[in-house]
């Protein structure tokens, strides 16, 4: 028995090693992409500030043509025009998100802090016989094919990037049908934590690998060396690259662990229930900010979301204010204040609870009640002081 899956857009990322000429060409392209984005953003902002005029993507495309004809910006004609047009479309999307109140006002790209990348559509590259050649290049990229593209798949968009550690990556967006996963009726509740990365309603606890803590001494040494270098020197650039390599090692190991964990959860369960945590508010606690960031709960949720969509699983997010830790999963009694250092507690009904396991069980029960009848389908007694539990319902939000 298997679950049917739909055709999805899927990005396949590979490492590649460019020649000196290719690296120089890509570096020029990254600089031109950043320049065009900033010029277009400045033009659109000025038009609105001075004349209350909205400039669309077509108008900035016309501006790009005129910029290429100037002596100062003649370098824009030396690189492929496709990434330059794509960055104008990205700016249009940024403004659409701003006017739709989904994002802040677009910001200018920084040479040091912004991501070095360029996006090519089908007219800007050639993919034949396992070889990828970008526009303005004579030779194909030296890609390390760690896995094959889907049979018969043709990339629709190719994104080339270089991370702060100096590694080169190419990402190919293709149509794909994910391999079906075995059918199941299992449901699991997940309680995210720090000591245990996740605690499942089945009682299983997944230990937090704490990747950042393991490499903290190495990172601190690299940062001390960086602080000693003269600003603007080549030695400082080398030291900065070493710091970036340590960060990349931490991020790669964290991402690999989360991929394995989320894939296992999606494979073994039809319904997955999580809490709708506000991580950006939680990291304001400076005592826990580093540990919360290292746990990467937001990344884990994002992986669960798209993997559940791929494989036909159900992901339910319960309200962030639901008192999962203080509610007895056996009788429904809500306890009073419970400090974080309390890891086990005994309910008035006589049941001894592990705080995290009890929370995961309550998360599962609440999530199932949300999907069936909108929430509240659980045994309820009373709050301390005699206040009715049914009056404490909070709005339920589903993903």
Q: Where in the sequence numbering do the catalytic residues fall?
A: 191, 275, 356
What single DSSP character describes residue 216?
Answer: H
Locus of tokens 């990254």: 30
> Angle at the Cα of 125 (from 119 to 129), degrees rounded to 5?
130
Distance CA 221, CA 210 (A): 18
The per-residue DSSP string of 134-146 comes to ETT-SS---EE-S
**Cβ-proximal residues to 72 (8 Å cutoff; 6+ apart), any chain:** none
Mark 144-160 as b/e (b = at least 16 C-beta within 10 Å): eeeeebeeebebebbbb
User: In a 3-state reduction of DSSP, which class is residue 161?
Assistant: strand
> Angle at the Cα of 228 (from 227 to 234), degrees rounded to 5?
95
User: In a 3-state reduction of DSSP, which class is residue 387?
Assistant: coil
Distance CA 234, CA 284 (A): 36
Q: Which two tokens stand for residue 343?
A: 């890891």
Task: Judge contact between 193 and 199, C-beta under 8 A.
Answer: yes
State the CB neighbour count (10 A cutoff) for residue 340.
9
Distance CA 337, CA 325 (A): 10
User: In a 3-state reduction of DSSP, which class is residue 121?
Assistant: strand
Task: Judge contact between 380 and 390, C-beta under 8 A.
Answer: yes
What single DSSP character describes residue 363?
Answer: H
Show the beta-strand stretches assigned E in 129-270.
Answer: 131-134, 143-144, 157-162, 168-176, 187-192, 196-200, 205-207
Task: Judge contact between 254 and 267, C-beta under 8 A.
Answer: no
């Amino acid at each position: 028995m298997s679950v049917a899956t739909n055709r999805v857009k899927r990005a396949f990322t590979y490492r590649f090693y460019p020649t000196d000429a290719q690296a120089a060409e890509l570096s020029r392209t990254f600089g031109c992409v950043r320049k065009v984005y900033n010029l277009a953003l400045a033009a659109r902002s000025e038009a609105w500030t001075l004349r209350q005029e909205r400039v669309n993507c077509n108008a900035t495309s016309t501006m790009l043509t005129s910029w290429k004809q100037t002596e100062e910006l003649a370098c824009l004609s030396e690189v492929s025009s496709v990434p330059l047009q794509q960055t104008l479309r990205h700016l249009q999307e940024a403004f659409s998100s701003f006017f739709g109140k989904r994002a802040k006002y677009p910001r200018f790209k920084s040479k040091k802090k912004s991501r070095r990348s360029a996006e090519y559509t089908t007219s800007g590259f050639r993919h034949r016989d396992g070889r990828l050649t970008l526009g303005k290049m004579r030779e194909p990229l030296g890609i390390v094919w760690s896995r094959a593209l889907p049979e018969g798949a043709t990339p629709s968009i190719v994104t080339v990037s270089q991370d702060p550690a100096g590694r080169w990556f190419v990402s190919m967006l293709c149509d794909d049908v994910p391999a079906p996963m075995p059918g199941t009726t299992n449901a699991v509740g997940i309680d995210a934590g720090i000591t245990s990365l996740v605690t499942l309603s089945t009682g299983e606890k997944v230990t937090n690998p704490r990747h950042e803590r393991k490499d903290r001494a190495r990172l601190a040494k690299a940062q001390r060396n960086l602080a000693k270098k003269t600003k603007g020197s080549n030695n400082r650039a080398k030291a900065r690259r070493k710091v970036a390599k340590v960060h990349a090692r931490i991020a790669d190991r964290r991402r690999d662990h989360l991929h394995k964990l989320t894939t296992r959860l999606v494979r073994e369960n039809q319904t997955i229930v999580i809490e709708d945590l506000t991580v950006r508010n939680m990291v304001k606690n400076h005592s826990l900010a580093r540990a919360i960031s290292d746990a990467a709960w937001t990344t884990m949720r994002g992986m669960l979301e798209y993997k559940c969509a791929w494989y036909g699983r159900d992901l339910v997010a319960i309200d962030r204010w639901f008192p999962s830790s203080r509610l007895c999963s056996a009788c429904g009694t809500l306890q009073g204040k419970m400090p974080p250092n309390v890891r086990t507690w005994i309910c008035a009904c006589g049941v001894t609870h592990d705080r995290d396991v009890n929370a995961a069980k309550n998360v599962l029960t609440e999530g199932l009640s949300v999907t069936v009848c909108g929430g509240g389908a659980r045994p309820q007694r009373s709050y301390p002081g005699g206040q009715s539990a049914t009056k404490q319902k909070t709005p339920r939000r589903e993903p």
